[in-house]
A and B are shown apart, each in its own frame.
Chain A
Amino acid sequence: MSKADIRTETGPSPQYREWLRRERRGHLAVRAAQLAVLVIFLVLWEVLPKAHVINPLFTSYPSALWPTFLELLKDSPQQVNILAHTWATVLATVIGFTAAMVFGTAIAAALWWWDGLYKVLDPYLVVANAMPKTAFVPIFYLWLGATMSVYGMSLAISLFVTILMIYSGFQGTDPNKVKLAQTFGASKGQILTKVVLPGSVPTLIAALKVNAGLSLVGVVVGEFQSANLGLGYLIQYGSQIFKMNIVMCGITILAVVSSLMYLAISWLETAVMRRR
């Protein structure tokens, strides 16, 4: 049942050990290559502007980011510090994708429950999903004000794709598993909670992955327009006063935030999938 079963009294065979070694070497090579790509990127970013191959005014360079970052850590009369901006963006993203997951799952469940509702709403959902939600940024600002419009954009951008993904996950439930539950006299609610929802956990995680990215996009776009807080705002501000260092600093932090979200979700995925 597992590789441990095939082990002989004397431990893994030399061939197996050789295979493991080669696997591990392959794995390390991939990691090394990944690191190399990052280093090459940073070096080019540093060297090309310095050599004036590209205009440093437009790109800044990595070594300039750290001093800028330290400077941005301090509150100034015009600016709160960069950690406050980061926190605002992260918070809005988490709120946005949590709301998208909760509402998305609830709405998908309602569509699953009332098939007629799905049939009626299907074309609208598809269109709503295809709409460029960012077109609503100015309107959301008017409707919802500075803070709420950011949350609203984050939700709007990820909600419809969540509904569609989770609904199709629900639809993909093995009808025989549903039939099995029915043979025991399961009610519709029991079918939902005991068969459809637990069976859709992989879909929920896939939706979470898509959402985390989309929500962050929504937040940043929302902050461009409306806020006086958040990394989106900081980037916008930096570009208006033509300080590329600030812009690049904001973008770098966004990259870090995305990576951390990705790691958190991968970790969650492994934790949940270990049970399957």
Chain B
Amino acid sequence: MSAPATGGAAVPPKVELLGVNLRYFGTEGETEALKDISIAIAPGEFVAIIGQSGCGKSTLLSLISGILKPTEGSVLVDGKPVAGPSRKVGYMLQQDYLFEWRTILDNAVLGAEIQGADIRKARERATQLLTRYGLGQFLHHLPRQLSGGMRQRVALARTLCTDPDVVLLDEPFSALDSQTRIALADEVAEILRRERKTAILVTHDIGEAVSMAERVVVLSRRPGRVKSDHAIRFATANGSRPAPFAARNAPEFNGYFNTLWRELEVHVEG
């Protein structure tokens, strides 16, 4: 692929992948996880990446976050090649992975602590974030005292505490029950939009992708390639994007859902 698809914006992309291949090496051979991936993501864009389990979604995020290097091709953030984990990119993993020996507040400042940031300021910011997410009374509790949804909110605070421009979300709600999942999706989408983050959400839940993102990229089965790229638009009175829960009830929702469903199902058959 030569010209990477952009979200239609003329501004330089915030995140760009150019002809990225990634192969994992093991004693039993190599696994081709991603093949010839080219995507450009505009600043402030909320992109969902969907694909079946094992198609390389997590791998893609690890590449953008800099904890993996592409076997071929390049990954750029702000036009510069990614050399390793950077403060510009925050990564929210599939589960909260809170450290059970740290309090909620201490968990939330972990990133700032590792990055050697001013710890007092970080604690202030984390306190603010946690309070905003309704966890103000739990700052000094331990993770085991919190429910799954609360824990995932702590993980979000931990990611945002270092104030990254780009937020990567790897199936952040998959460990939650369906009600919590939908409620939290609303909150997270709202928070990320308000803070004008560039967000890349990986999921295998089509409804989640359509309701949260303004653009959905479909990956093929392994080795993952960009199968298609869809802009998601909802007509609303004020022209702004509806919250995920409202989007699920919008008339356009089913159309997008069915299109993407078909895209994914093609791969189930072959």
Contact = CB atoms under 8 A, between A and B. Distances in A.
A182 interface: yes
A198 B99 CA distance: 9
A269 to B, nearest CB: 14
A116 interface: no
Interface in B130-163: 142, 144-145, 162
A182 B99 contact: no
User: Looking at A177, A184, A186, A199, which has the most chain B CB atoms within 10 Å of its CB?
Assistant: A184
B24 interface: no
Interface in A160-194: 174, 176-177, 179-186, 190, 194
B86 interface: yes
B91 interface: yes
B11 interface: no
A195 interface: yes
A275 B67 contact: no
Contacts of B44: none
Contact of B114 (A1, A177, A181, A198): A181
B95 interface: yes
A180 B101 contact: no
Interface in B96-123: 97, 99-102, 110-111, 113-115
A185 B97 contact: no
A174 B144 contact: no
A128 to B, nearest CB: 28
Given A176-B97, A194-B114, A185 B84 contact: yes
B85 interface: yes
A201 interface: yes
B65 interface: yes
Nearest to A198: B101
Given A182-B85, A184-B85, A184-B162, A276 B142 contact: yes
B93 interface: yes
Contacts of A275: 101, 142
15 contacts: A176-B93, A179-B93, A180-B97, A182-B67, A183-B93, A184-B115, A184-B162, A185-B85, A185-B86, A185-B115, A186-B114, A198-B99, A275-B142, A276-B100, A276-B101
Shortest Cβ-Cβ A-B pairs, 6 listed:
A185-B85, A183-B91, A184-B111, A184-B114, A186-B114, A180-B97
Interface of A: 1, 174, 176-177, 179-186, 190, 194-195, 198-199, 201, 275-276
Interface of B: 65, 67, 84-87, 90-91, 93-95, 97, 99-102, 110-111, 113-115, 142, 144-145, 162
